[in-house]
Amino acid sequence: MEDFASAYVRAVSATAGCSVAKPEVDDDSIDLILKRKRAGTAVRSPQLDIQLKATYTDCIREGHVSYPLSIKNYDELRPVNVAVPRILVVVAMNPEAGAWIEHSQDSLSLRKCGYWISLRGEPPLSNTTSRTVTIPREQVFDAMGLHRIFEALESGSVP
């Protein structure tokens, strides 16, 4: 599941003109690092850190995606005093591995969808196990959505 979710993010990132790197050690809830080289913007060549989760549980609701995130990950994604903005990406998958892709000589389709949310500035919790994160279904992690995130970063805003 983790490899498929990573492939999903890499495919979306390539389409949005971003490079992807994987930190050698994940000690700060960062699984992937995205960069997009741009000049002539308020912020040149911004970077985005991603905590990546994959799930095949029934997390899709009418207007949102619900994901139980560990408090460790929650606490590492909410600080505002980080040099590089961070987001959580949750890739919803079919429980059957054979249904993850559709392939023919004309196309390769990755099945299901990823969603993103920034937890920057969220309050600390007294809960010590997990927090259910609610991600609006409009926040699809696709090439257009990632392009908009990087446009904001390039203008000096953070997601």
Q: What local confidence, expressed as pLDDT, does residue 131 receive?
A: 94
Closest CA to 52 of 23, 87, 80: 87
Q: How far apart are CA 19 and CA 119, in angstroms?
A: 23
Q: What local confidence, expressed as pLDDT, does residue 156 receive?
A: 92
Q: What local confidence, expressed as pLDDT, does residue 83 receive?
A: 93
CB atoms within 10 A of CB 93: 22
Q: What local confidence, expressed as pLDDT, does residue 46 receive?
A: 93
Q: How far apart are CA 61 and CA 149, in angstroms?
A: 24
Structure tokens at 67: 């994901």
Q: How far apart are CA 137 and CA 99, in angstroms?
A: 22
Closest CA to 91 of 60, 112, 118: 112
Q: What local confidence, expressed as pLDDT, does residue 1 receive?
A: 86
Topology (CATH) of 2-154 = Trna Endonuclease; Chain: A, domain 1 (3.40.1350)
Q: What local confidence, expressed as pLDDT, does residue 95 receive?
A: 72
- As averages over each run of 10 residues, the pLDDT of the chain (159 residues) reads 91 95 90 92 93 88 92 96 96 77 76 90 92 95 95 93
Q: What local confidence, expressed as pLDDT, does residue 100 receive?
A: 67
Domain coordinates in residue numbering, the chain? 2-154
